[in-house]
Amino acid sequence: MTTFSAPVTEPKPLPSNQSALAASFTDFLTVSIHQILFLRSVYPRATFLPVRAYNYPVRQSRHPKVCDYINDAAIAVGTEILKGTITAVSIIISSLRTNQPLERYAFDLSGFPRVPVGEINATFEERKDDPSSSSKLGVNVSERGSAPPQTIDLEAQFRACLARLASACARLTPLPRDDEFSFTVCIEVREDALPPAGTTKEEQTWIVAEPGKVHLRSCTAPYSVSKAKSADDPQQQHQHLPPPPPKVSNGRAKTVPVRRVEAGELRLELWVEEARQKFNEPVD
């Protein structure tokens, strides 16, 4: 951090390799999770500190355990991105009283480039030139023959995303006041990908989600398996729950699109889904 009087920072260049891409997305994910928790008042608003991210005022939780959990989740997501297994990340807000998911904030990452593990530090330009990789990626590479110059400001895109998130949340039905909520970080993996179950304690960061908990099927991968991030914090643990509620055929009652970000190789979509349970509609 410079301490000059007026540090002028030009837009940082777009991430040029997969690891940079994963890093910028995990940063953005961390900021977004904090912001979502604030906007929906999952934790008391007084526990959030006004800070600045991407030159935009956001809120960050002050509770150390919350921060740690979110950081760990983001790192775990980043690991999965590098493995190339993720199609979507979602934040699911559920009621503690009824154990029903109420809202789902989905980041669709199916547009992320899929890069073999050995090439995560190879810039996308290099990979494009490499004939072996282009054959793997097929059509996509040729389309990006002339990559647009890096005039797209990633920071501005993230800023816009956060601003739209705030206004989208304002349009949602407020969460029931007399209830407490918790949140879960969920990822959806591709059908052909190995589920991120590890053998060692360190690797076991993800647990399999119960289908009833994640009520909504992802638009992009109808057959995906949903996993819920395990947490040390007992408040956020979903492993020992009563038997799942009756299946819902389509839990989505209302979808509010937030924003699509396209900045070079970083393509993601963000939307909000509200569950029927939120509106106390009868479940099928």
Which span (53-61, 81-89, 104-112, 199-207) binds another protein, by CB under 8 A? 53-61
- Round the CA-based radius of gyration of the chain to a whole number and report it: 19
Which span (55-63, 78-86, 125-133, 208-216) binds another protein, by CB under 8 A? 55-63
Which span (5-13, 113-121, 133-141, 241-249) binds another protein, by CB under 8 A? 5-13
Binders of another protein among 166-195, rule CB under 8 A?
A: 166-167, 169-171
Which of 59/238 has CB closer to another protein? 59
Provide the minimum distance between the beta carbon of 97 and another protein in the complex, in angstroms, as a whole number.
23
Provide the minimum distance between the beta carbon of 138 and another protein in the complex, in angstroms, as a whole number.
32
- Applying CB under 8 A, does 8 fall inside the site for another protein? yes
Which of 9/146 has CB closer to another protein? 9
Distance CA 29, CA 158 (A): 10
- Applying CB under 8 A, does 13 fall inside the site for another protein? yes
Distance CA 279, CA 173 (A): 8
| Per-residue contact string for residues 58-87; x = within reach of another protein by CB under 8 A | xx----------------------------
- Applying CB under 8 A, does 149 fall inside the site for another protein? no
- Applying CB under 8 A, does 2 fall inside the site for another protein? yes
Instruction: Report in angstroms the alpha-carbon separations of 111 from 84, 103, 223.
Output: 11, 23, 17
Which of 14/248 has CB closer to another protein? 14
Q: Rounded to the nearest 5 degrees, what angle is found at the Cα of 54, between the Cα atoms of 49 and 56?
A: 55
CA 145 to chain centre: 29
Contact set with another protein (CB under 8 A): 2-10, 12-13, 38-39, 45, 50, 55-59, 159, 163-164, 166-167, 169-171
